[in-house]
Structure 1
């Protein structure tokens, strides 16, 4: 199977072109072109990428973004599709999978789910397992703002038909979030556009998890 980071990169590019550069996304006030520019700054402009996570350097991010935003939208999308430059750490397949699998999956859904009439996709089982595996690692940081114990449950996903579970934050009386991996990913990255999730556990814990600013 093609790595999720690569398949979602290509799928995001296809959806971006189909939606058009001015179409909305789930990322605040960004349109599709803004999102594409963000991905390029993150991957190809080290100083600008640092400003994404370090607010004192945000001016570098803004300058890199403005320069890219003046360029042709289709050309920008195809640059994303082409993958990271050879000097980038994410050109190493293992790092690409670790860093980009959820990044491109969630941003792809940011494009899809901001459009009228969207519906959840059916991913192949291997792709869903890849999402679940990535959430088991990244999810620990994503749920930290809630400050409550959290367990994820993927109903019926184990080979024997039992639920697959993973603990993101240990503790008594955890909030248990049950659902398909992609829908869980959207929740943990702070998106409201998710479907079919079930929340069990102490009511106060559920309220804190659902009301927190989740994500990185």
Structure 2
């Protein structure tokens, strides 16, 4: 059975350890320490993690994240590397389903903030897993976009989403589509074909869940 969630978690934790807590990420205002704290809160503090999705709880969640970020760096890294088995998002039944995307994205959040980064050549199995998730993400992220958007991943598949109207094509490798559709357009290597106004609007859109 593939364990891409585990391998991405380990690669991210190794990179965080190498770069140190003050290294940048592509997440505006966040250092590596901030991102590590986000991951720990997501897995270990369900009361605070709810603020990731629910606006009324966002302030509470951010306060807890800042408290966690202020802790010992080595302990913070250890908590990222070794998730609790009781966590709703990282137990053996949910880990691969929930965390493959989470840790791939955040691994790239750190990688792509560093000088001279390059896209990785991903294992074929991980590419396939990311395409399955990117197709779902595309339908959700672009469902209200004012165009008929054709999303293509060569050798993996394609789908049509958007509200309809003028055609637009978004093409890239599955991992690049994931980054683009999760709001990381500025670092995603994709091709967009269509009217200039629409392509610019898509590159600047607030995407993600």
Q: TM-score when scaled to structure 2? A: 0.90
Partner of 1:90: 89
Residues 1:27 and 1:178: Cα distance change in structure 2 (over 3 Å): same
* Residue in structure 2 matching 1:193, options 174, 179, 187: 187
Partner of 1:18: 18
Q: Deviations over 1:157-209 (max 9, x none)?
A: 15xxxxx21234363543211111111111111111122x2112344332321
Residues 1:47 and 1:98: Cα distance change in structure 2 (over 3 Å): same
* Residue in structure 2 matching 1:179, options 162, 172, 175: 172
5+ residue gaps, structure 2: none
Q: Deviations over 1:71-123 (max 9, x none)?
A: 1112211211112x233222444533332222111111000000111111110
Residues 1:97 and 1:167: Cα distance change in structure 2 (over 3 Å): farther
After TM superposition, where is structure 1 displaced by more than 6 Å over at least 4 residues in a row? none
User: 1:99-138 alignment to 2 at 5 Å?
Assistant: 99-138=98-137
Does the Cα contact within 8 Å between 2:146 and 2:165 map onto a contact in 1?
no
Residues 1:69 and 1:211: Cα distance change in structure 2 (over 3 Å): closer
Query: How far apart are 1:151 and its partner, in Å?
Result: 2.1
Partner of 1:34: 34
Residues 1:69 and 1:13: Cα distance change in structure 2 (over 3 Å): same
What is the root-mean-square deviation of aligned Cα atoms in Å? Answer: 2.0
Matched residues in 2 for 1:145 and 1:190: separation?
A: 15
* Residue in structure 1 matching 2:205, options 209, 212, 216: 212
